[in-house]
Amino acid sequence: MAAEVRTRYAPSPTGYMHIGNLRTALYEYLIAKSNGGKFILRIEDTDQERYVEGAVDLIYKSLRLAGIKHDEGPDIGGEYGPYVQSQRKDLYMPYARQLVDKGEAYYCFCTKERLARLKEEHEAEGIPHRYDRCCLSLSRQQIDEKLAGSEPFVIRQKMPDSGSTSFEDAVYGVITVENETLDDQILIKSDGLPTYNFANVVDDHLMKITHVVRGSEYLSSSPKYNLLYKAFGWDIPVYVHLPLITKPDGAKISKRAGDASFEDLLSMGYLVEAVINYIALLGWSPGGTQEIFSLSELEGVFSVEGINKAPAAFDFNKLNWFNGEYIRRMSPEGFHEVAKPYYEGAIRNKEIDLKKVSAILQARTEILTTIPEKVDFIDLLPEYSEEIYIHKKMKTTLESSLKSLIAALPVLEGIEEWSDEAVHDSLISLVESMGIKNGQMLWPIRTAITGKEVTPGGAIEIAGILGKEETIRRIKAGIQKLSLKAGTDANN
């Protein structure tokens, strides 16, 4: 019987979840769920110098927002806890000493000053920096004396002197590294805490992790992990290294470079579901033409075989498209709820029916944060140039626009029951009687009542939202504006 698939997301609490972290967590979750397995959350906080206050809460919040639910973790417990590395700190030293006893690791008492000098010498000579194994030659008596004297020490892994180490990655195939290039990495630091690499291996083994998923930048570190597994005699997990996520210009997406985090994207007006859908496709192909997937659908179709080797470019234009698709698929009520916060401050007029505003915005919105700029004309007609009345496609001029507004004014004033249907029927009837195109009437009206070239709705829809009194007031202002322009031109 095959072992239960167990994956883990093991972030360090150093700040917000950036896009690469989110994709790693998502893929680990999907690998587990698509195989009926378990997804584990483990907090790796042994590097206290990089610890950021409140970052653990941000990890919980981000996973919760993304809909990625862990089966075991610090907050819900599990059979293999504790799930915070600093709470496991007493576990690691005995394992490191096991390796010392086996001859697979050794005590190192070198001072920081000596190690700094060694690095400087290597840099001056232009050779790759590696520890020179000064302490490997210490006798058992010398080691015991130093330990008895409480000299600070670290424990280093003893790498093979020759040969090579190979491992198979589920994405990149067989990777081979020459052992002579491997440095004797530190397993236990001078403060008694494990290094990231060592704690990872011990915890993954103890928590029965079957699949290790991480970025391709860790490919070169994997031989070190494998040598540790072999030294202990433990089963090696399946490695799944993920391609880099880059910007369109090929530069790496990086939290340090100020690139958007998951929460940044949400605050920028993107829907959670759209972000998750898009992130899933950054480096993974489902096959076929389907692009829109819910998280539950992804759980059913995800497979490691679909992960690509090539870097994936994070394209905001593509994310915008996904977000627009998700917005259009929402119910009118659902869109209105997510749009409402963006009306605050942009529409102060309490008489405006915001549901009508949502009705015209839903099909014309890709990013929620663009809503205020789309509706800012509702409260106050902006200053605008008469030139926007001129539209080649609509065949409008300043003169024809003025004529249309003057003709429309009494027709609109005569509507008793103001509604979209009544405005439409009245204006279309006027258009027919004047023998002009619809656009020659509707473009000037839309310009007069919005003052903008681009609006989320047409003249009739916007007139319905503004109401009779405000629509007529703005049309009168438009007539005056064009009349003044015509008078100025005539005088010139």
Contact 235, 29 (CB under 8 A): no
Contact 372, 346 (CB under 8 A): yes
β-strand 6-9 against 245-246: which pairing, if any? unpaired
Neighbouring C-beta atoms of residue 187, cutoff 10 Å? 25
Kindly list the distances between the CA atom of residue 56 and the CA atoms of 11, 73, 168, in Å, as whole numbers in the listed order: 9, 12, 33
CA distance 418 to 351: 14
CA distance 286 to 30: 13
Which amino acid is located at 148 in the chain?
Answer: A
Residue 395 bears catalytic tag: no
Distance of CA 458 to the CA centre of its chain: 34
| E-state strands within 99-140 | 105-108
Kindly list the distances between the CA atom of residue 65 and the CA atoms of 60, 69, 265, 266, 370, in Å, as whole numbers in the listed order: 9, 10, 12, 10, 22
* Catalytic residue from among 61, 146, 255, 403: 255
- Left, alpha or beta for 342 (phi > 0: left; psi -120 to 50: alpha)? alpha
Does 255 count as an annotated binding residue?
yes
Query: Any idea how long the chain is?
Result: 492
Contact 313, 247 (CB under 8 A): yes
Burial class (CB in 10 A: 0-12, 13-18, 19+), 95: buried
Look up tokens 């950021």; give the residue. 52
CA distance 38 to 475: 64
Kindly list the distances between the CA atom of residue 18 and the CA atoms of 22, 115, 190, 241, 319, in Å, as whole numbers in the listed order: 6, 34, 31, 17, 15
Q: Which residues pair with 178 in a beta bridge?
A: 164
Query: How far separated are the first and last CA of the chain, in Å rounded?
Result: 93
The C-alpha torsion from 111 through 115 and 117 to 119, rounded to 10°, is: -170
Binding positions for ATP? 255
User: Catalytic amino acids?
Assistant: 255
- Detail the residues annotated as belonging to a binding site: 255
